[in-house]
Every structure is written in structure tokens, then in C-alpha cells.
Amino acid sequence: GKTIAESRGEVQKSYNILEFICGEGRRLNGETVPSEMTNTLAYTVKEPMGVVGLITPWNFPVAIPVWKIAPALVTGNTVVFKPAPQTPWTGELVTRLFLDAGLPQGVLNLVMGGDQDVGATLVNDARIKAVSFTGSNAVGNLINTQCSSRGAKVQCEMGGKNPIVVFDDADVELAAVATAQGAFGSTGQRCTATSRAIVMNNIADAFVDRVKQLAQEVVAGNGMDEKTTMGPSIDQEQMQSVLDYIDIAKNEGAALLCGGERYHDGDLAKGFFVKPTMFDHVKPEMRIAQEEAFGPVLSVIRVETPEEAIEVANNVEYGLTSSVYSNDVNRVFRFLDKIETGITHVNSPTMGGEAQLPFGGVKATGIGHREMGKTAIEFYTELKTVYIDFTGQVRQSKVY
């Protein structure tokens, strides 16, 4: 159900990642470091882990597998790849592309199944030296526990509750458009989606009116139709989860401005379509402001000062991405110093990342090394330190 425009963008991003990571094959550098001992050469080398397990989600069924598979292969590992049960065909197509490009048989291996059977087998198999996972916190934390108990390396990229912070000196139109893109694009089904708008009160009315207008301009429908700007939820279970969070927000007293239900008219009633939904006067402690709904749902939280905005932005368990809109450089840099996210943007939306830059979060969002960029290869390698003594003599032993 992803729109064709978003799908093309995902394929282009996959290409960019492959292009960059291929170059890392020529940059698997160690260091030559001076030794305390005379006539001794000391250096480090990166070595492959062996067999690695990759478990990927359904929301980016091409880009996320590629950004895990590419660094795993270029560093010399073999791979067992398990895509999400909702996107098996895409997983097969991605695997066939690597094989068609000339990858030897047995280097990249595709397995299908759920987390409780195939996923658990993969995580607990002693032959799997490292596991990279993207998905929910519940599953990621379980994987971390299981891998750690047997000494396997683990990397988990999990939830987000990403804020866009709008100060009263910001370009309101620019911020509103970015908020709508981040909240309703990809049906809100991405870890970098904008789920909270933290707005200073003296511009909040103008901001809310504009975002509401943009929400009502969203065109839901078949993703293959070029006119569609928002597709459906992935399946009925996910749609129901989003609707449940909407009901929770209503019961908590948040002010519903638009949406708040699934589409009931025409062909949209036959699919898993939730209307773009916007709540105002949300309190920071409400569940809708704390928990990840993973749907086209935006919470607007009004604040009085920049300091309060930053405090509210940080007052969640997650820390993936954030955005600040301001034309005051002093406010911007104070925000950048204090925000607790692995990625942050200034005057641009919360979502997105580039192939040459690290991707990942802090707090409950991330475990282990960052993905993408030059750091991507760190997870898939072991570092070996080498000492070469060319004195030809027996030395007095040292205490290390």
C-alpha cells in the first residue's frame, strides 16, 4: 500500500546505500599505532564476524534489508536474512537481486517465518555470531537479552516518538508543511515519523490551523495511483492498533481536530485506511504523547518557553530523531546541545537519512552500533590488535 512516489524514493535510497557501502570495501582500515616497545610494529585489522542474522521490518522492505545486507557482505560475512512475515515477496526479490548480481550461492540465505519460530531459532543458534534487528521494543529487548546471554553481538533499532519543536520565531508555514509530511507521509508507519509537535503557545493557533488544512488535503487511496499521497495501514491488526490509540487519546481528554476514525466511504471502506488525525492540547504525560502509535496521528503539545519545549521533547523513553524550527541561532544551538536524540534536524522534517551518515537513536530506541554511513561496518567486524616484535631477542616480560 505504500505510495508509488515513496516506493521510488526507497529504491533510490537503497541504490545510494549500496553505492556508498561498496566503497567501504576499499576502506576497511585499521590503525598503525606506536608501540611502547622498541623495534615493535603495532597495528589493528578488522575481521569478519562469520555468520550474521538479519531481521527486518515491513515498513521499508527494500531499504532496511539493503542497509543491513550490504555492510555485512562487504566486510566478509555470510548472511541469514529473515524479512517480516508481511513482506515475504519483497524479501525474495531483494535476495534474488544480490544473487543475479553474481553473489556466490550460500553467502546470502533467505528464511521465512515469524518471530516466535524462525526468528527465535535464528537468535538462539550458536552459529550466528551477530544479530541485527529493526522492529518493536518488545521484540528487540528480548533479542538483546537472548543474544547477550550467549555472548553474541547484537544491534537493535526500535521505537521512536519523534518531536518537531516550533519556536515562536520560526517560519510557521515551513514548519507546518514539514509536520504534515512527517506525520502523515508513509501513513505514519516509519520510525522517524513526526508524532509530536511541540509548539510555543503564541504561534500555536496559526500553526494548528495550517497543519489541519494540510491533513484534510491528504489523498488516501491505492498506492499505485500517482495521485495518492497516503496509503493504508499494513494490515487489519495495525489499523486496529492505531484506532485504539485514537480512542485512548479521546478518553484522556485530548482535543480531536480532524480524523479520528477509519474511512467509511467508497473503496476506502474496503481497505485498512485511517484518516489523518490531529489532536490539540495534548498533555506531555498522556499515552498518545508517550507511546508509538505507528499511524497517521499527530499530537500537538503547547508550551510557553523554549526551555519547556526542550524538556517536553526529551520527556519520553525514546530518542531516535527530532527537529527544531527557529531562525534564532542561539535557540537552535541550545536545542542541539540538550536534545536527547541520535539524529536531529534544523528547519527540516524529522524523517529521512543519508547513506553516508550514521542512522540510529539513544535511550530505548537503540542498542549497539549505528547503521549506515562509515559506522555501518563496525557492527559486522571484530577488531584485532597485532604486535610484531622484530628485535629477535627475548624481552623482559611486562605487566598488562
Q: Which residues are catalytic?
A: 157, 191
As a whole number of angstroms, the distance between CA 297 and CA 162 comes to 12
Kindly give, in sequence order, each residue whose CB lies less than 8 Å from that of residue 259, ignoring residues fewer than 6 positions away. 215, 246, 274, 275, 276, 277, 278, 296, 297
Query: How, if at all, do strands 343-346 and 321-325 pair?
Result: parallel
Q: In terms of DSSP H, where are the helices of the chain?
A: 4-24, 63-74, 88-100, 120-124, 137-149, 172-184, 201-216, 236-252, 287-290, 306-314, 329-338, 376-379
Q: Tell me how crowded residue 219 is: count the other CB atoms within 10 A of its CB.
A: 10
Strand 194-200 with 297-303, pairing: parallel
Tell how far CA 222 is from the center of its chain.
25
Query: Which stretch of DSSP H or E encloses residue 48?
Result: strand 40-48
Grid coordinates representing 256 are 480531536
31 neighbors 20 (Cβ within 8 angstroms): no
The Cα 241–Cα 229 span in angstroms is 22
Give CA–CA dist 19/24, Å, rounded. 9
314 and 338 Cβ atoms separated by less than 8 Å: yes
Contact call for residues 233 and 86 (beta carbons, < 8 A): no
Cα Rg of the chain, angstroms: 23
User: How far apart are the C-alpha atoms of 265 and 262, rounded to whole Å?
Assistant: 9
**DSSP-assigned states of every residue in 224-257:** TSTT-SB---SSHHHHHHHHHHHHHHHHHT-EEE
Measured CA to CA, the distance from residue 151 to residue 145 in angstroms comes to 10
Q: How far is Cα 59 from Cα 135, in angstroms, rounded to an integer?
A: 9
